[in-house]
């Protein structure tokens, strides 16, 4: 954690991991406690896991019944907390969908002054390793990425299984992202923690950006939330327990790395939707 003293450049980013459940009030109470801890340690941005508002396993009708609109209680409470602590917050919302038999897996970003500043609906649904997220979740549309900025650093959003698709992060970088937040519910299993860490590091390294990835804790998730810098260095990380880790985002680090490794400038391909 970089000391945020006079003349400091950049800001603190925290990954906050916990295991959301079927009690919405309890989930919000945990978010409040972890956000306060992160803010007290100097964070200006706190990233929470996927499905932070409500979660049960396996996915099913209960999630549809507990879905909320973007102006519902969860986002309203999150915005109030951001205003109280003077921090930006990113968290996963079980959101209402156009299809009444499904829900949307949405990330929301709230600002201490503007409320909801960005949203992202998960593009790649987890139909892998025995999971069938598409049975209940409405996939996001290929809209232009929504981003927001803190002190000149542009932040983009993607979700969990998206991290296995390099073009998702590259598309965000093409939209100006310097830091990508990755809330997740990365399911435990053989080699899954290895996959999680390797993929997060790869997305930071190949795009020369910061990545802040926040997972759910066990028994479903692996935990192991981490912040990685543009050279692929893990600058903050957690184990399996509910906790907060804070790292310092310095835009000068991005510039320095890109002078040494101008991979973005040298590439010969672009990302196109299919």
What residues form DSSP beta bridges with 119?
A: 108
Q: What is the pLDDT of residues 18-58, one digit of tens each?
A: 999 999 999 999 999 999 999 999 999 999 999 999 999 99
Catalytic-labelled residue, pool 68, 133, 160, 185: 160
- Residue 92 and residue 79: Cα distance in Å, rounded? 14
Distance CA 106, CA 95 (A): 6
Instruction: Pick the catalytic residue from 122, 133, 138, 185.
Output: 122
Q: How far apart are CA 169 and CA 186, in angstroms?
A: 17
Task: Say if residue 94 is exposed, middle or buried (CB neighbours under 10 Å; 0-12, 13-18, 19+).
Answer: buried
pLDDT, tens only, 133-169: 999 999 999 999 999 999 999 999 999 999 999 999 9
Q: Mean pLDDT check: name the lowest of 2-16, 22-36, 106-120.
A: 2-16
What share of the chain has pLDDT > 70, as a percent?
Answer: 97
| Residue-level pLDDT at 266 | 97
230 vs 252: CA distance, rounded Å: 11
- pLDDT at residue number 8: 81
Residue ranges covered by each domain of the chain: 12-266
12-266: CATH topology: Nitrilase/N-carbamoyl-D-aminoacid amidohydrolase (3.60.110)
What are the pLDDT digits (tens) for 77-108? 999 999 999 999 999 999 999 999 999 999 99
192 is annotated as an active-site residue: no
To the query of whether residue 160 is one of the catalytic residues in this protein, the response is: yes
């Amino acid at each position: 954690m970089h000391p945020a003293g006079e003349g400091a450049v950049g800001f603190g980013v925290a990954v906050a991991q916990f295991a959301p459940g079927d009690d919405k009030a309890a989930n919000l109470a945990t978010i409040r406690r972890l956000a306060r801890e992160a803010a007290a340690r100097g964070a200006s941005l706190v990233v929470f896991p996927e499905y932070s508002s409500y979660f049960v396993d396996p996915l099913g009708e209960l999630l549809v019944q507990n879905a909320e609109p973007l102006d519902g209680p969860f986002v309203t409470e999150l915005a109030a907390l951001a205003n109280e602590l003077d921090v930006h917050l990113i968290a996963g919302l079980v959101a209402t969908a156009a299809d009444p038999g499904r829900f949307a897996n949405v990330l929301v970003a709230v600002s201490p002054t503007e409320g909801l500043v960005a949203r992202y609906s998960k593009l790649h649904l987890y139909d892998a390793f025995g999971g069938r997220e598409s049975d209940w979740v409405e996939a996001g549309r290929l809209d232009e990425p929504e981003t927001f900025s803190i002190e000149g650093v542009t932040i983009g959003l993607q979700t969990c299984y998206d991290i296995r698709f390099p073009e998702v992060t590259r598309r965000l970088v093409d939209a100006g992202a310097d830091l990508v937040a990755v809330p997740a519910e990365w399911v435990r299993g053989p080699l899954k923690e290895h996959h999680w860490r390797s993929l997060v590091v790869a997305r930071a390294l190949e795009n020369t950006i910061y990545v802040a990835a926040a997972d759910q804790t066990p028994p479903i998730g692996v935990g192991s939330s981490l912040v990685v810098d543009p050279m692929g260095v893990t600058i903050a990380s957690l184990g399996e327990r509910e906790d907060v880790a804070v790292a310092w985002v310095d835009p000068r680090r991005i510039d320095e790395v890109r002078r040494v490794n101008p991979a973005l400038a040298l590439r010969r391909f672009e990302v196109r939707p299919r």
